[in-house]
Amino acid sequence: MEGGVSFNMIKPIRIITRMDIKGPNLVKGIQFDGYRALGMAQDYAYLHYREGADEIIFYDTVASLYQRNNLLEFVTAVSKHIFIPLTVAGGIRSIDDIHKILRAGADKVAINTAAVYNPDLISEASKVFGSQCIVAGIEAKKRKDGTYENWVDYGRQPTGINAVDWSRRVVDLGAGEILLTSIDFEGTGKGFDIELTRMISESVSVPVIASGGAGSKEHVEEVITKGKADAIAIATIFHYNYAKPINRMFSASNGNCLRMGEQIDEGNMEFVNTFYGGLGEKRFDVISIAELRDYLQKKDIKCHNR
């Protein structure tokens, strides 16, 4: 009997929206590069909450580069009206940074770059704030020999550290969850890196959030049943779903409205609708959070029922 099915019956999985943020905008790139603005991040955050996301991860895309997190004001604003767990990633470098962002309204922080340079940050932070709010970020890229390496600085810098070894290390240090992103698959829509996810999930005792590559609901199902993911973080197929014009027949004239009716101030709808400006083949089957949940439940995967 296939073990994956009964496994998931007893343990609901989480559907998390991942929002990459630059300035006031929600952005999305391919393999951590080539960003496009999709609209105001704040509008999307409220929209994902209303639509039933289990959690939201806010990723400050340029924080590591500038050595600071720029989401303090943003989190302060959105957390007043969003009552699901909020995780902030990017540019978290010190106990003081964590203190500030938690006080602003985040429930957890994800740390990668700073933990590689200073692993004690994970142990100290989990002692001060509790393991439950310390998420270790791992951004893995496959090496020629088939092993995986952890990269830092938002997928810009290799570290020479084996990703599986590192996952065990951060859990020993006190991380309560792992946010695992495949750099090779991120933004491509060709599915999650199942091998990577399964390897990490089976080597640690804490939940693993799989991120990077979802192009369809089947991909999500696969990373849960075969990749043993405990949660999935999704960007493109949700964002593009909600960024669709209200009425596609009039997309040229109504192209600056979200389906939910909010204005996109900085959006680049043509780019979105032609999928990377026509450069890539269309590989994304956009879906709403509710539709994905219904699909997973039909496949006997327990998840949050609203």
- The site for another protein (CB under 8 A) is made up of 3, 6-7, 10-14, 49, 52, 54, 79-81, 83-86, 102-103, 105, 107, 129-133, 176-177, 205-207, 230-231, 303-306
Complex with another protein: residue 79 or 251, whichever CB lies closer? 79
- Catalytic sites, residue numbers: 20, 139
In this complex, which beta carbon is closest to another protein, that of residue 264 or of residue 303? 303
C-beta of 208: minimal distance to another protein in Å?
9
Residue 209 beta carbon to another protein: minimum distance, rounded to whole angstroms: 10
Closest CB to another protein among residues 103, 248:
103
Instruction: Give whichever of 80 and 298 is closer to another protein, judged by the CB atom.
Output: 80
Residue 303 beta carbon to another protein: minimum distance, rounded to whole angstroms:
8
**Choice between 227 and 267, CB closer to another protein:** 227
Q: How far is the CB of 146 from another protein (least distance, A)?
A: 26
In whole angstroms, the minimum distance from the beta carbon of 198 to another protein comes to 14
R_g of the chain, CA atoms, integer Å: 18
